[in-house]
Amino acid sequence: MKLSVWTYEGPPHVGAIRVATGMEKVHLVLHAPQGDTYADLLFTMIERRNHRPPVTYTTFQARDLGSDTASLFKSACHDAYNRFKPDLLLVGASCTAELIQDDPGGLAEALDLPIPVVALELPSYQRKENFGADETFFQIVKKLTTPQPRTENISCNLIGPTALGFRHRDDVEELEKVIQNLGIEVNVVAPMGSEPSDIVNLGAAHFNVLMYPETGESACRYLEKSLEQPFTKTVPIGVGALSDFIAEIETITGLTNLQNKVASRLPWYSASVDSTYLTGKRVFIFGDGSHVISAARIAKDEIGFEVVGLGCFNREMARPVRAFGKTLGCEALITEDYLEVEGAISELAPELILGTQMERHIGKRLGIPCAVISAPVHVQDFPARYSPQMGPEGANVIFDTWVHPLVMGLEEHLLTMFREDFEFSDANGPSHHAAHQPSTVQKENRSEETIPKENSSNVIWMTDAEKELRKIPFFVRGKAKRNTERYAVDHGVIEISIDTLYEAKAHYAR
């Protein structure tokens, strides 16, 4: 057993529902008790879908367990087929049904339905949501694809987007534009937006674009092996990654001079002098592996932040995230324990968190600004406006989104200069935020809060030094405190005075 307060991923059958809900003319019959229907609201409320997910739950009860849950499954399958007339039926079991071992696959087979049936193995006690999505799509592809003649013009499939994906809706639109600008046709986008007949047709494309390794990698590997379709390995989030992605396409297709056909505003926005204040800001990055790697690269190479820590919640991506962490000099944190992530952030005291909705709340508690870069999703991650992460527009969106939580450059200086002004205080938060609230009372509380009395080392802050520390704006105070303590420990100083504070400042000056 594992004690868990919050989880980053749902169970694998939620991944299967994400695939089914993204597709058309597919229906999933899930052997599951009644409470499992909560999954519907993820789609209808968080993603604001206007249709129920195409899922029939058998909703067995305790009294059915003694008698015949298998025939309940069969009749649910039968009724679902007759009512919804799908072109493809998926069958599977949630965690509880896995224990009663009714074999949904065998039962569905016995019904002899006139459509293909894919039986899903979703090991609920070992694997999680992303695995469930990846496995479900892989099984559908394996069942339906056959070799097809390639399209006359160079074409590709976009693989990986699902329902309830972080910005999948807009990433698809953006990437379609990018691909078409390169003079390449988009054959099929799947799973989201496709129907079973499209999956049959996947083989007509010349190559695959793997948009989301978390949900599409197994299918791409299978297609590479069975249909000799190469696939792109770089996720085109960020300017550098987009360029690498296009280089991959050049290699795969033999086309040349594709690089100039896309442009983002991010490079100029980063180069313009107003962005100078972003230099070396310490960021902590956490989320799913793919988004974390993309974000770390952008943070370091395209905005000029310092990545002080990173990690991911999906163990499947542990290896590449660890490897990428090494190149930045960071030990990657691979965990799905929310409290462990909170501990790491609190220890590192970054100036900005790039994380999930969970880290947004950690940031709120610790007084550290946060921008969201990855699932798990929240209703706010489905904005009405066009807001992709991929492609040139994605890079623009990312620049804006990451800079927004920060206090703006000139304001940073003014806050330091006019530290004693009772109406103009760092405790009020960035002035361009709605929550900005000038209040002297709040200021006092904030100063108390952000200097915790205890510290990890055994050094003691003298009263004068502590007062001086409070004069440093809160968004750099954590770093100043940390550096000073480290300096004190390294130099055998037990009591931190004002001088120690400034000696440390000089020592760590950059």
For 480, the token pair is 């100043």
Active-site hit among 274, 421, 464, 490? 274
Stretch that binds other proteins, among 152-160, 376-384, 479-487, 500-508 (CB under 8 A): 376-384
Sole binder of other proteins in the list 188, 204, 358, 366 (CB under 8 A): 358
CB atoms within 10 A of CB 59: 16
Query: If you write DSSP's letter for every residue of 183-245 in order, what string do you get?
Result: T-EEEEEESTT--HHHHHGGGGSSEEEES-HHHHHHHHHHHHHHH---EE-S---SHHHHHHH
* CA distance readout (Å), 155 to 152, 174, 191, 211: 8, 16, 17, 15
78 binds other proteins (CB under 8 A): no
In the numeric block, the tokens 């087979």 are attached to: 109
In the numeric block, the tokens 């968080």 are attached to: 46
Stretch that binds other proteins, among 120-128, 186-194, 460-468, 477-485 (CB under 8 A): 120-128
Give whichever of 189 and 372 is closer to other proteins, judged by the CB atom.
372
Stretch that binds other proteins, among 34-42, 192-200, 344-352, 435-443 (CB under 8 A): 34-42
27 binds other proteins (CB under 8 A): no
- How far apart CA 120 and CA 92 sit, in angstroms, is 5
385 binds other proteins (CB under 8 A): no
384 binds other proteins (CB under 8 A): no
400 binds other proteins (CB under 8 A): no
- Smallest gap from Cβ 7 to other proteins, in A, equals 5
Stretch that binds other proteins, among 54-62, 147-155, 184-192, 219-227 (CB under 8 A): 54-62
40 binds other proteins (CB under 8 A): yes
Sole binder of other proteins in the list 14, 202, 334, 415 (CB under 8 A): 14
For 140, the token pair is 């559908």
Q: Which helix (H) or strand (E) holds 361?
A: helix 357-366
- Smallest gap from Cβ 241 to other proteins, in A, equals 29
- How far apart CA 333 and CA 325 sit, in angstroms, is 9
* CA distance readout (Å), 411 to 275, 291, 414: 13, 30, 5
Q: Which helix (H) or strand (E) holds 372?
A: strand 370-372
Give whichever of 99 and 271 is closer to other proteins, judged by the CB atom.
99
Stretch that binds other proteins, among 55-63, 155-163, 414-422, 465-473 (CB under 8 A): 55-63
In the numeric block, the tokens 């927004």 are attached to: 404
- How far apart CA 208 and CA 186 sit, in angstroms, is 10
Give whichever of 51 and 453 is closer to other proteins, judged by the CB atom.
51
95 binds other proteins (CB under 8 A): yes
Q: Which residues pair with 370 in a beta bridge?
A: 353
* Coil, strand or helix at 29: strand
Is residue 274 part of the annotated active site? The answer reads yes
Residues annotated catalytic, as ranges: 274
Residues that bind other proteins (CB under 8 A): 1-7, 9-11, 13-14, 33-38, 40-42, 44-46, 48-52, 56-62, 65, 76, 79, 83, 94-96, 99-100, 123-126, 128, 357-358, 361, 364, 376, 378-379
